[in-house]
Structure 1
């Protein structure tokens, strides 16, 4: 086996052969184990971002690794034209853990949201999709059209017609939903905009408005689902039950998979040929996802997520540069004081120095907030280590 390329060699190759779509950190990762990333130059980085909420059981989790190895020796792909064990079993787990209806597999969160949009319009025979300001639902055209962020939308106009964005208030949602509305698509916690929880009154208003006008309420659980907030699905905390949810990121702990999950009354809306994907429901990804379910679908595990989140919150809020910590479970954002932001330039600049100088990985989704999406398996010792590293970074300048 050849030696890994150095960071400089990787950067050189990428500059000549990779489209400039990603602004990469000056870090070259070779392997990972538990909460740690190992770089080609021998560093060990505490991963408190989980690949943006994906590797929720940490890196190289033994149960997931074993499931992948076993499935790789059996079958990687055939097609969705035959019956398969893994996707069928995973459909049952997704359905029974949430809305009790049907499941349609995809390969990502954006694709799952595309499927949800098609479901809503097929159900209503057209209609408008209402979303919330600062929401994020993906970068494919339908999902992007439901993502009211000018910096993301403007370069790709014209977008798909029939989308409306409103403020996350009871009055705005009630006014926006009418007989011509196909669905309200929202996140319970807006992760990409800085971990912004949506008030439960807004969720209840959306549910009532959708019921009154025959529209669907679709909750995007791509980042907040699979135990991230301390319940299996984030919508559970509000008591509001949606008509459909979309799932991805943490579902297979790193392998590409997404899913649309519906309530029973929508089981027959999509017909053969309405939607499809060559790789959706891939047996390898489904095997990994079943292993993930085996670990997290446990009340004790989810209770531990809440405890871990409380420990992170109290540790971070004890620092004078942190105004408050928002979010639920292990989906958190530390809002920095104006003085700390001025001293460090921005949360993004601070996050860069944290990973390069203090070997801890978080990110800055807004100029004043650090986002943490650590492994759900993180220990108290690792939490305290992470808080100490962030504190050292805050004190360094």
Structure 2
């Protein structure tokens, strides 16, 4: 059966929530994906920053296989060892105090916002309900998460949205300060690096001011690191580049290397308002996901591995910068680590399609940015090939 026949079958039974490219993948190895007709692609999408160790990783496969023979799931009415171990490692890597596990980034952000509102009602004011988020942000597809997402295109036909969530311009502290003065604020929610909005990093001084504002006003500071966390930037969490800590950080995507998992970490002061019955997740902390997460935490959390991510990032950006010098269509290169955005003046859909034809997978971010979020194990040789194919496609 050929690709078009599979796609026709899929169209008949799967809701069209994605504009899928006409590719049907069969298997992957390292940073290479192979479709059912045998064509190979260098994958710089990585499940959109999920497959941090690529495909068919021997160590991760072994850990998952071992856990399959023990138990896939056990209720959160009981403890399990991989859950406890993963939480211990995350606390150590983050500098925060307590973990909650769920299944996705949207769920993680919902948990973070619930935690912040409960905290505000108990320790600030019954009227402290406002959550201030950023324009051009993205936090997920569930109702509070999509309301917090600062891009109206994702909210079409979903009104009324959740109340008491306001948006201000990212990296604009004056606008944020005015919003805090106007509203009885429970939380400030932002991405240290905006992903879907176009790969825009926060400015260091801005984040320091936001941290002080939250301290002064008893506001819960939430960082959404669903995309930029888990070693993606060369630090385990992106906020570690800035010398500050949030009160709550959400994570998902790369945490279990492709097994669905998300969660939040919080400081004790805020975490203690989650008590039995205040929040839950049936599949959260299941032994399969947390076993995979333990392997990722040991591997990606290793300082030598993170240093390699930083070195490969520098190499990648240097190669793209040289391309920018000779190609007038490239307007800007942004990001940290292996979360890189290349802004171009061409139609990004045309360029993405041409990349696919050339055997390179990339995706868009914002209106005019090509996003590179490859597996963190990508080699320099594969980076060279990526830049060559990208140049050809431009």
Q: Same fold (TM over 0.5)?
A: yes
2:163 to 157, 161, 172: 161
CA displacement 1:128-180 (0-9 Å, x = unmatched): 10011111100100111111211111321111001010012010112222472
Match of 1:386 in 2: 386
Alpha-carbon RMSD across the aligned residues, in angstroms, is 1.2
Per-residue Cα deviation, 1:364-386 (whole angstroms, up to 9, x for no partner): 22342110001111111111011
Structure 2 residue aligned with 1:299: 303
1:192 to partner: Cα distance: 0.4
Query: Which range is displaced more, 362-371 or 382-391?
Result: 362-371
**TM-score, normalised on structure 2?**
0.95
Structure 1 match to 2:342: 334
Report Cα offsets for 1:200-237 as digits up to 9, x if no partner: 22212211111111111010010000110011100011
User: How many aligned residue pairs are there?
Assistant: 382
Shift of 1:268: 1.4
Q: After TM superposition, where is structure 1 displaced by more than 3 Å over at least 4 residues in a row?
A: none
Q: Does 1:189 align with 2:174?
A: no
| Contact 2:365/2:371 (<8 A) preserved | yes
1:176 aligns with 2:176: no
Partner residue in 2 for 1:242 = 246
**Distance in 2 separating the partners of 1:207 and 1:177:** 13
Work out the CA distance in 1 between the residues paired with 2:211 and 2:195.
Answer: 21
Superposed, 1:273-288 pairs within 5 Å as 273-288=277-292
- Match in the other structure for 1:144: 146
Q: Provide the secondary structure at the position in 1 that maps to 2:133.
A: strand
Aligned to 1:76: 72
Comparing 99-108 with 31-40, greater Cα deviation is found at 99-108
Are the equivalent residues in 2 in contact too, given 1:221–1:246 (CA < 8 A)?
A: yes
SS in 2 for 1:177: helix
Q: SS of the counterpart of 1:59?
A: coil
Contact 1:37 1:44 in 2 (8 A): yes
The match for 1:134 among 133, 136, 149 is 136
2:124 aligns with: none
Do the aligned residues in 1 keep the contact of 2:116 with 2:270 (CA within 8 Å)? Answer: no
Q: Does 1:86 align with 2:87?
A: no
Q: Separation in 1 of the partners of 2:143 and 2:367?
A: 27
Asked whether 1:324 is paired with 2:332, we answer: yes
**Cα-to-partner distance string for 1:293-350 (whole Å, 9 max, x where unaligned):** 11111221111111111111111121213233110010001112x3xx1xxxx11221
Query: Counterpart in 2 of 1:14?
Result: 10
